[in-house]
């Protein structure tokens, strides 16, 4: 699992990997100190990983190489039969995923507000 050396978008992935008892390794990339936020560590490596859409977070699971946090979460959930057994259950899981993302974005807006 590759991501910046912060919790951010990869933290939910880590929680799901832990919950499913899936072994994984964290590859943490330094994002540098403010105000420059040196991203050269990631920039120098991203084209060498064979990712279709080089981005963080990414997950490499054998031959499977994924980017985008929700795609990674869905992949892990499907692999562990956590996406529902019926169409109705699958739809409810999809709605719950989006509701959680809306809630998370609301929290992000509060936390990154300069008045916080």
Query: What φ, ψ does residue 58 adopt, rounded to 5°?
Result: -135, 155
Give the per-residue pLDDT at 89: 97
Give the per-residue pLDDT at 50: 97
pLDDT in tens, 11-24: 999 999 999 999 99
Whole-model pTM: value is: 0.88
pLDDT in tens, 32-91: 888 889 999 999 999 999 999 999 999 999 999 999 999 999 999 999 999 999 999 999
* CATH assignment of 2-82, among 3.40.50.20, 3.40.50.720, 1.10.3720.10, 3.40.30.10: 3.40.30.10
> 59 CB contacts (<8 Å, ≥6 apart)?
1, 2, 13, 24, 65, 66, 67, 72, 75, 76
Closest CA to 31 of 2, 4, 68: 4
Give the per-residue pLDDT at 34: 85
User: Over 90: is that where the pLDDT of 112 sits?
Assistant: no
User: Over 90: is that where the pLDDT of 28 sits?
Assistant: yes
Region 95-105: mean pLDDT is 93
The residue among 115 and 92 whose pLDDT is bigger is 92
Please state, as a whole number, how many other Cβ atoms lie within 10 Å of the Cβ of residue 1: 19
């Amino acid at each position: 699992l590759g991501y910046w050396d912060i919790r951010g978008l990869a933290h939910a992935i880590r929680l799901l990997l832990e919950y499913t008892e899936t072994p994984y390794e964290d590859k943490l990339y330094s994002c540098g100190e403010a105000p420059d936020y040196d991203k050269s560590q990631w920039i120098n490596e991203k084209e060498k990983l064979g990712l279709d859409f080089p981005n963080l977070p990414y997950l490499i699971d054998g031959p499977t190489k994924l980017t985008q946090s929700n795609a990674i979460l869905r992949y892990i959930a499907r692999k562990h039969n956590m996406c529902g057994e019926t169409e109705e259950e699958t739809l409810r899981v999809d709605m719950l995923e989006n509701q959680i993302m809306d809630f998370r974005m609301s929290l992000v807006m509060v936390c990154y507000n300069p008045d916080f």
